[in-house]
């Protein structure tokens, strides 16, 4: 594998994240009604997109695994589940920090928040299932089934602020009339989306390598035990 | 058609097993009634509040009754290695799923009737006027719930932590159906025009269809060793 | 104030996760080396 590619990945992530933060604080203009605290939007919303990406990867790799039985797909699904859990937790953490100063409440059970909490639970249950099944082959298959069925929540969650009247703000990026951002805000936002996806991909790659290493260790252990039993 | 015969075979087997000792039905009904009972003491609602609380309360009772039902449904398959037997049988595993799902649907519906009856008694609330919409809504949402519950029951049956993992796995996935059921039921019980909650019904129907189809396709992976 | 908490907490969270990944990787790497050397020893037998 070598050390060069991961190092480049790390540096690229670092640079992109630093750029993003510079833009968040020094480039993007201040929002009219909410003031400085609105800047949380530039982390909160991209985190949501990443969480969605993460679960989509879990879903696609689950499908591929059931179809092709590829260990790479299984490892990638597991890795995406774990890293996605971290991002989804951050999402649920930053949301209330924005809500409290702006709405006066930490939380409410509207459609968007509820379904996003459900997404978080989906990550948790996915990871729990993986750790509670003893045989790795069974774990992979069952987790894949769960990953596929759970994906139903993701599109509903995305559409939630369009289908229902929610406490959560209406779409500003891809919404209908009344949406749209100041161009500098839009640019900042897109840079942040990229930065967080880059961070996600970096952590995903590391977690994936970890999974592969674990697989190698198990295989080696098995072959050594086998050879020991031969003597 | 051969497929229907297979589904019927699995269904009849489960029904017959249940008829012999009625364990699942008894425990599910009793548990559901207990939930209503506890809620009654926890909240002691007046007349107006009853309407607000009832749909939620009912669905909490249905949800937990369902957990019991799905757990038992596959617990009894574990004895005598029936699960492996089903996996080895030369039939489409999806059909086995449909059979088990229908059995669970029947059991849960019976339990729901009992639970609703208990609730109407203790809350002095009559469901009869709104039955025309309340019954189909409840049935539809139960169908969606049983669709995932049966699948996850089979998944959880593989784990030694199955009693914990079944709710953990299925509640996040089933939550949209519960919410749709509660919202639509509230509208129906209040006597609102059906158009006001039709969107919830459509949502529940859509989700139910997706769950049944997905489970049908994926069940072979759940059964395999 | 909330802004500050959000940003700093986020950094902390991600660093903790990245660090946990590093630790697990290092542990596995060590195990891999051990097993490989065992395998080498056995091959010589």
> What tens digit of pLDDT does each residue of A3-31 get?
788 888 888 888 888 888 888 888 777 77
Domain extent listing, chain B: 2-223
A195-228, pLDDT tens digit by residue? Answer: 999 999 999 998 998 888 888 888 888 888 887 7
A183-230 helix and A71-103 helix, angle to the nearest 10 degrees: 140
pLDDT at C36 over 80: no
pLDDT at B34 over 60: yes
For residue A194, what pLDDT is reported? Answer: 92
Surface of C (14-33) touching A: CB under 8 A: 14, 17-18, 21-22, 24-25, 28-29, 31-32
What domain range includes position A148? 43-170+181-222
Q: How far apart are CA A158 and CA A161, in angstroms?
A: 7
Q: Is residue A138 part of a domain?
A: yes
Which of B147, B195, B145 is closest to B171 using CA atoms? B145
For residue A171, what pLDDT is reported? Answer: 61
Q: Using 50, 70 and 90 to split pLDDT, how confident is the model at B46?
A: low
A126 Cα to chain B: minimum distance (Å): 8
Mean pLDDT of A101-117: 87
Nearest residue of C to residue A206, measured between CA atoms: C21
Mean pLDDT of A120-148: 91
Higher pLDDT, A109 or A63: A63
A61 Cα to chain C: minimum distance (Å): 21
Q: What is the largest CA-CA distance in chain A?
A: 77
A121 Cα to chain B: minimum distance (Å): 6
pLDDT at A176 over 70: no
pLDDT at A177 over 60: no
Q: Using 50, 70 and 90 to split pLDDT, how confident is the model at C44?
A: low
**Number of structural domains, chain A?**
1
Q: Is residue A21 part of a domain?
A: no
Share of chain A above pLDDT 70, in %: 92
Q: Which residues of A touch C6 (CB under 8 A)?
A: 40, 43, 93-94, 97-98
Which of A125, A60, A116, A69 is closest to B152 using CA atoms? A125
Mean pLDDT of B194-220: 91
pLDDT at B81 over 80: no
Nearest residue of A to residue C16, measured between CA atoms: A86
Q: Using 50, 70 and 90 to split pLDDT, how confident is the model at B47?
A: low
Which of B3, B150, B144 is closest to B77 using CA atoms? B150
**Measured between CB atoms, does A58 come within 8 Å of chain B?**
no
Q: How far apart are CA B27 and CA B37, in angstroms?
A: 15
Q: Using 50, 70 and 90 to split pLDDT, how confident is the model at A174?
A: low
Q: Is residue A47 part of a domain?
A: yes
- Residue B191's H or E segment, with its range, is none
Six-digit token pair at B189?
Answer: 């019980």
Q: Give the ipTM.
A: 0.88
Q: Using 50, 70 and 90 to split pLDDT, how confident is the model at B167?
A: very high
Instruction: Give, in order, the Cα–Cα distances in Å from B157 to each of A85, B45, B59, B149, B164.
Output: 25, 38, 24, 12, 11
Nearest residue of A to residue B211, measured between CA atoms: A149
Higher pLDDT, A230 or B155: B155
- A128 → closest Cβ in B165, B171, B175: B165
**Measured between CB atoms, does C38 come within 8 Å of chain A?**
yes
Q: Is residue A6 part of a domain?
A: no
Q: Is residue A230 part of a domain?
A: no
Look at B27-31, B38-42, B69-73, B137-141 and tell me which has the smallest mean pLDDT: B38-42
């Amino acid at each position: 594998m070598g050390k060069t590619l991961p190092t480049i990945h790390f540096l690229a992530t670092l640079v992109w994240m630093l750029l993003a933060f510079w833009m968040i604080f020094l480039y993007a203009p201040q929002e009219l009604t909410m003031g400085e605290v609105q800047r949380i939007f530039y982390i909160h919303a991209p985190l949501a997109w990443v969480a969605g990406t993460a679960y989509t990867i879990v879903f696609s790799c689950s499908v591929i695994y059931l179809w092709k039985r590829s260990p790479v797909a299984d490892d990638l699904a597991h890795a995406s589940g774990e890293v996605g859990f971290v991002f989804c937790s951050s999402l649920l953490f930053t949301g209330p920090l924005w809500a409290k100063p702006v709405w006066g409440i930490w939380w409410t059970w509207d459609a968007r928040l509820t379904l996003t909490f459900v997404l978080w639970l989906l990550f948790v249950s996915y990871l729990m299932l993986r750790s509670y099944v003893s045989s790795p082959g069974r774990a992979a298959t069952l987790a894949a089934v769960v990953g596929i069925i759970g994906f139903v929540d993701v599109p509903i969650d995305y559409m939630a602020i369009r289908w229902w009247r929610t406490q959560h703000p209406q779409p500003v990026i891809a919404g209908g009339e009344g949406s749209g951002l100041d161009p500098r805000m839009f640019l900042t936002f897109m840079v942040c989306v990229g930065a967080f996806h880059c961070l996600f991909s970096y952590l995903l790659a590391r977690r994936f390598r970890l999974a592969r290493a674990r697989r190698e260790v198990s295989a080696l252990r098995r072959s050594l035990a086998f050879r020991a039993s031969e003597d | 058609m051969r497929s229907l015969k297979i589904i019927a075979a699995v269904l009849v087997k489960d029904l017959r097993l249940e008829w012999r000792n009625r364990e699942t039905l008894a425990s599910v009904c009793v548990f559901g009634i207990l939930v209503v009972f506890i809620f009654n003491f926890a909240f002691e609602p007046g007349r107006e509040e009853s309407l607000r609380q009832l749909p939620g309360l009912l669905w909490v009772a249905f949800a937990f009754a369902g957990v019991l039902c799905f757990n038992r449904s596959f617990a009894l398959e574990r004895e005598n290695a029936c699960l492996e037997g089903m996996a080895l049988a030369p039939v489409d595993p999806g059909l086995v799923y449909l059979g088990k799902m229908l059995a669970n649907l029947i059991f849960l519906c019976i339990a729901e009737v009992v639970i609703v009856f208990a609730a109407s008694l203790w809350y002095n609330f009559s469901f009869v006027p709104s039955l025309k919409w309340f019954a189909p809504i409840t049935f539809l949402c139960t169908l969606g719930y049983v669709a995932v519950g049966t699948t996850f029951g089979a998944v959880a049956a593989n784990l030694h932590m199955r009693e914990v993992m079944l709710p953990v796995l299925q509640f996040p996935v089933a939550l949209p159906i519960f919410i749709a059921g509660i919202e639509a039921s509230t509208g129906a019980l209040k006597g609102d025009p059906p158009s006001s909650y039709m969107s919830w019904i459509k949502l529940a129907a859509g989700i139910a269809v997706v769950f049944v189809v997905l489970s049908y396709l994926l069940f072979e992976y759940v059964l395999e060793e | 104030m909330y802004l500050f908490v959000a940003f700093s907490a986020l950094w902390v969270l991600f660093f903790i996760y990245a660090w946990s990944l590093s630790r697990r990787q290092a542990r596995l790497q060590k195990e891999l080396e051990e097993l490989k050397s065992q395998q080498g020893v056995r091959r010589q037998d």
